[in-house]
Chains A and B, each alone.
Chain A
């Protein structure tokens, strides 16, 4: 299998050959930052196009088809439009927090990119609490949303922000617990470690029943965490116009928009990491020839492919289901998902102790 660490190591030693160590690190940081930004924006553009096409298919429409072949350049056009839009300055708002909020949201999703397992050896940083770091930074986003809603000095945004706060804080429990369930199975919190553990079989098969339960809960909670339908209450269009980002315009609005799509990718990416082996190809114990063929597919393709398939499911949710009400949303979390999750964690621990997993 292609190991990207050989390439990164080569670059590292090449830079080190004529640079002092500190400069090398700085240059590498800048390179990675630029690379991530590029990936970030390209993924966002792709996701906008992807969602619009999928949604159009569900709604018996064609979707974007005018700009470029099959409308492929539509999201580029949209991006340029949003870049040249005027930032409307509002009075009676907390200007500093108002300007800060979109950056907090976008920083939260960017930080999460650091630990995603893009490919074999293609990971920005792999440390022993990788998945914990991911859960932690993704909760920064809620801060941005709360600030956006509060600093806009608008009743709609305030209600949207409060809804969002209640929702994200609640559903983080479910995400955390289902992640914990899988961490138990993996025995490590390091992202690289989790992927390596799945070299013989993906966790969704290895952990069978509890893994499946954890997966379903993770997908529900992940959808809620990204504020997407049927959990899109914070920005429930028919109730609160645009919820917490009602007052934003231009690229500031664009940041929220981008962050939403990127969070979709991150949730799907983490699901593929925890349940479908991250970049690990599909391996079935005993089928050596099959495993070997699977290895020929590049690991990056595996990871992004899994993430896209899983995000299709989340998009599918959005364009099919009606929206929940805030009390139903919270009772779903606290009365159903949380107890099931706790039970599931106990079940997983038992299965590991008795070695009943594959």
Chain B
């Protein structure tokens, strides 16, 4: 890690490298684009994966922190770019360096009003186009009344170009070419898995371009969290990716515990990991069921729900809920496991292999299913990294991006499990990777079920929890990919900024790229195989 820091210091003398756990490099805006290219291409850096872009308002300046990870060296760093102009803040875009940055920068523009020079698409991402003000700014006081008019949409987007003389010019670009046949898929559509909207330009059955509209269930979780104490922010984690609620809870608890220096008991660690893996199996079960249903094989849904129900029963006994568990808490878990937890998990481990075999028999080997999935929606490894497609979808493209292996947290480093990857990069690979991940999760559960140590399930935590001044960035593995959490604290009981980097946002962002030239039916196949959850991307 030290290597690349030295190198950056040598190449960019103006850069200041912070001393956080994940070092944050501060760089003036005019050198940022060069630094971005250097970070991505330099042999010692190879920061080819942009985890997230955190928009920030430090009241005296606005800015963004780009969190990067190297798929080669597995190192992480942040780059902080700021501007003090609050009227028309502008930064240079990195959209040409990392493809996913286009989407992330739109989000920052939406919430902070920072214009990114060179980003091809400067529209709002989540909020409606007639929204007044930029809500995540600290001085935001606008009142936006609920609109009773039809939803407006613009057929053009703005892009800002820097002219050779340094002036910035605004240009209007049409989203679709004139005369294109645009079909509106969503927001109410059975296959978008929630309220997501694809404006799809088609030529017959062939897809020309997809314009993704998000934000139909944007609840402003990040903004809400700024007004809540740290323990109060936890329940929101259930309401993002509701299928990996445990994993997200685990992630936020880890981040807060790391910042506050709380050491939790081994028993709590084991319970947390077991809950994570149970949710992973349940989540993948539901994926298989709904995916098959998207492809027209309705019956599979019921076979996979059988297993999922069994897991939900286990969770209900321990957590008291079948969804929105709110189980992990700062210092451990909310309550001890139910008396027959171990018995139930063993029963599940017994039926799971049989069920997986049955799924393969009914669906995976079916010739129609093979034709529908094989070779459809190919995503290369380079594109997967550039578009930040993590989780099973990224691994299906051959990118080993499992945060449980790359940045082992909790007790994952002690566990024996394989990271499943495939090289095909098509929908079939994404499907199979998930199928095999269920087996690996079962392996982890089998290792832990008889080894839950005695001890307290929750350590004593101060009643009023204050984090020291600083910033922390943690990445954990949700069921659908890497979930990043950024906490910036000003020393009070509430987070100054809590940024949640969900895996599903880039998953939806990559849809346009991999569906071009495919059939309409393939959009459903591809969307289903990416398995995005809309509340997760909208937050």
Main secondary structure of the interface of B (DSSP, over half): helix
Contacts of A319 in B (CB 8 A): 298-299
Interface assignment of B363: CB less than 8 Å from any CB of chain A: yes
Cα distance A233–B521 when bound, in Å? 9
A239 touches B520 (CB 8 A): yes
Q: Are A322 and B183 in contact (CB under 8 A)?
A: no
Contact, CB under 8 Å: A155 / B296: no
Residues in A with CB closer than 8 Å to B368 are 230, 321-324, 328
Min Cβ gap B306→A in Å is: 7
Q: Say whether, besides A60-B302, A230-B296, A322 and B521 are in contact (CB < 8 Å).
A: no
CB proximity to A under 8 Å, residues B291-336:
292-299, 301-303, 306
* Chain B residues, CB < 8 A from A236: 296, 521
Give which listed residue, A61, A155, A159, A324, contacts B302 with CB less than 8 A.
A61
Q: A240 to B371: give the CA distance in the assembly, Å.
A: 20
Segment of B21-29, B184-192, B394-402, B480-488 engaged in the interface with chain A: B184-192
A307 to chain B, nearest CB (A): 24
Query: Cβ of B524 < 8 Å from any Cβ of A?
Result: yes
Q: Is the CB of B303 within 8 A of A229?
A: no
A interface footprint on B325-354 (CB within 8 Å = 1, 0 otherwise): 000000000000000000000000000000
Of B301, B303, B520, the most chain A CB neighbours within 10 A belong to B520
Asked if residues B296 and A321 are in contact (CB atoms below 8 Å), the reply is yes
Determine whether the beta carbon of A232 is less than 8 Å from that of B181: no
Q: Is A238 an interface residue (CB 8 A)?
A: yes
Whether A229 contacts B296 in the complex (CB less than 8 A), given A159-B520, A236-B521, A241-B189, comes out as: yes
Q: Is the CB of B191 within 8 A of A238?
A: yes
The answer to whether A156 has its CB under 8 Å from any CB of chain B is: yes
B73 smallest CB distance to A (angstroms)? 42
Complex alpha-carbon distance, A61 and B305, angstroms:
12
Looking across the interface, which residue of chain A has its beta carbon closest to that of B192?
A238
- CB neighbours (8 Å) of B360 from chain A are none
Let me know if A14 is at the binding interface, CB within 8 A. Answer: no
A residues within 8 A CB of B306? Answer: 60
Report yes or no: A322 in contact with B366, Cβ–Cβ below 8 A. Answer: yes
* Given known contacts A61-B302, A155-B184, A230-B368, A322 and B190 CB-to-CB distance under 8 angstroms: no
Q: Name which of A320, A326, A328 has the most chain B CB atoms within 10 A of its CB.
A: A320
| CB contacts between A and B, total, < 8 Å | 83
Residues from chain B with a CB closer than 8 A to the CB of A13 are none
B519 touches A238 (CB 8 A): no
Collect the chain B residues with CB atoms within 8 Å of residue A321's CB.
296-297, 366, 368
A343 within 8 A of partner (CB) = no
Answer yes or no: B41 CB below 8 A from chain A CBs.
no
B residues near A59, Cβ cutoff 8 Å:
298-299, 301-302
Tell yes or no: A325 within 8 A of B by CB.
yes
B161 contacts chain A at the CB level, 8 A cutoff: no
In whole angstroms, what is the CA distance A159 to B523 when docked?
A: 15
Is B371's CB under 8 angstroms from A328's CB? yes
Tell me the residues in window 60-87 of chain A with beta carbons closer than 8 Å to chain B beta carbons. 60-61
Chain B 351-372 interface mask (CB, 8 Å, partner A; 1/0):
0000000000011001011011
**Complex contacts, A237 vs chain B, CB 8 Å:** 190
Say yes or no: is A288 at the interface (Cβ < 8 Å to chain B).
Answer: no
In the bound assembly, the distance between CA atoms of A163 and B190 in angstroms comes to 19
Task: Please give the distance in Å from A324's CB to the nearest CB on chain B.
Answer: 6
- Bin the interface of chain A by size: 20 to 34
Residues of B within 8 A of A328 (CB): 368, 371-372
Kindly provide the distance from the CB of A251 to the nearest chain B CB, expressed in whole angstroms. 24
**Is A327 engaged at the interface, CB distance under 8 Å to the other chain?**
yes
Alpha-carbon gap, A26 to B366, bound state (A): 54
Cβ–Cβ < 8 Å partners of B130 in chain A: none
Q: Shortest Cβ distance from B181 into chain A, in angstroms? A: 7
The answer to the question of B426 belonging to the interface, with a C-beta cut-off of 8 Å to chain A, is no
Q: A155-B181, A324-B372 are in contact. Are A60 and B298 (CB under 8 A)?
A: no
- Asked whether any CB of chain B lies closer than 8 Å to the CB of A58, the reply is yes
| Across-interface contacts of B301 in A (CB, < 8 A) | 59
- In the complex, A59→B299 CA distance in Å? 5
Q: Which residues 132-182 of B have a CB within 8 angstroms of A?
A: 181
Which residue in chain B gives the minimum CB-CB distance to A320? Answer: B299
Chain A residues lying within 8 Å of B184, measured Cβ to Cβ, are 155
Q: Report yes or no: B302 in contact with A241, Cβ–Cβ below 8 A.
A: no
B363 neighbours in A (Cβ, 8 Å): 322
Q: Which residue of B lies closest to A231 (CB)?
A: B296
Contact with B along A36-76 (1 / 0, CB 8 A): 00000000000000000001001111000000000000000
Q: What chain A residues lie within 8 Å of B202 (beta carbons)?
A: 159
Q: Which residues of B contact A55 (CB under 8 A)?
A: 299
Instruction: Please tell me if the beta carbons of B183 and A238 are within 8 angstroms of each other in the complex.
Output: no
B181 in contact with A323 (CB, 8 Å): no
Chain A residues whose CB sits within 8 angstroms of the CB of B298 once the complex forms: 59, 229, 319
Residue of B nearest to A325 (CB): B521
> Considering the chains assembled together, what is the distance between the CA atoms of A236 and B524 in angstroms?
11
- Of A238, A324, A325, the contact of B293 (CB 8 Å cutoff): A238
Q: Mark A197-231, 1 if CB is under 8 A from B, else 0.
A: 00000000000000000000000000000000110
Q: Report the separation of the CA atoms of residues A320 and B297 in the bound assembly, to the nearest whole angstrom.
A: 6
In the assembled complex, which residues on chain A have CB atoms less than 8 Å from the CB atom of B522? 325
Indicate the member of A61, A232, A323, A324 with the most B CB atoms within 10 Å: A323
CB distance from A212 to the nearest CB of B (A): 20
Chain B residues whose CB sits within 8 angstroms of the CB of A156 once the complex forms: 183
Q: A326 and B521: CB pair below 8 A? A: yes
Pick the residue among A159, A241, A323 that contacts B296 (CB under 8 A): A323
What residue in chain A is nearest B519 (Cβ atoms)?
A325
CA–CA, A323 to B521, complex, Å? Answer: 9
CB nearest neighbor in B for A166 = B205
Complex: how many Å from CA A232 to CA B295? 11
Taking CB atoms and an 8 Å cut-off, the chain A residues in 148-163 that contact chain B are 155-156, 159, 163
CA distance A60 to B289 in the complex (A): 14
Contacts of A320 in B (CB 8 A): 297, 299, 362
Q: Which residues of A have CB within 8 Å of B302?
A: 59-61
What B residues does A325 contact at CB under 8 A? 371-372, 519, 521-522
List the A residue with the shortest CB-CB distance to B303.
Answer: A60
- Contact string, A235-260, partner B, CB cutoff 8 A, digits 1/0? 01111110000000000000000000
- Whose C-beta in chain A lies nearest to the C-beta of B369? A322
The answer to whether B519 and A323 have CB atoms under 8 Å apart is no
Min Cβ gap A234→B in Å is: 12
Closest B residue to A232 by beta carbon equals B296
Contact B205 A238 (CB under 8 A): no
**What are the residues of chain B within 8 A of A155 when measuring CB–CB?**
181, 183-184
Q: Which of A229, A232, A319, A321 has the most CB of B within 10 A?
A: A321
- Bound-state CA distance A195–B448 (Å) is 68
State the Cβ distance, B99 to closest chain A Cβ, in Å: 27
- Which B residues are CB-close (under 8 A) to A240? 520
Report A-chain residues with C-beta under 8 Å of the C-beta of B297: 320-323
Binary B-proximity of A303-333 (CB < 8 A = 1, otherwise 0): 0000000000000000111111111100000
Q: A238, B296: Cβ atoms under 8 Å?
A: yes
Inter-chain CA distance A237–B189, complex, in Å, is 9
Q: State whether A327 touches B519 (Cβ < 8 A).
A: yes
A residues near B, CB below 8 A? Answer: 55, 58-61, 155-156, 159, 163, 229-230, 232-233, 236-241, 319-328
20 pairs from A and B in contact (CB 8 Å cutoff): A59-B299, A155-B183, A155-B184, A156-B183, A229-B298, A230-B368, A236-B521, A237-B190, A238-B190, A238-B293, A239-B524, A241-B190, A321-B368, A322-B292, A322-B297, A322-B366, A323-B296, A326-B205, A326-B521, A328-B368
Given A319-B298, A322-B372; 9 other pairs, CB 8 A cutoff: A59-B299, A60-B306, A155-B183, A233-B521, A241-B190, A320-B297, A321-B368, A322-B297, A322-B363
9 closest residue pairs by CB, A with B: A323-B296, A322-B295, A322-B297, A238-B191, A59-B302, A238-B294, A325-B521, A322-B296, A155-B183
Residues of B within 8 A of A (CB): 181, 183-184, 189-191, 202, 205, 292-299, 301-303, 306, 362-363, 366, 368-369, 371-372, 519-524
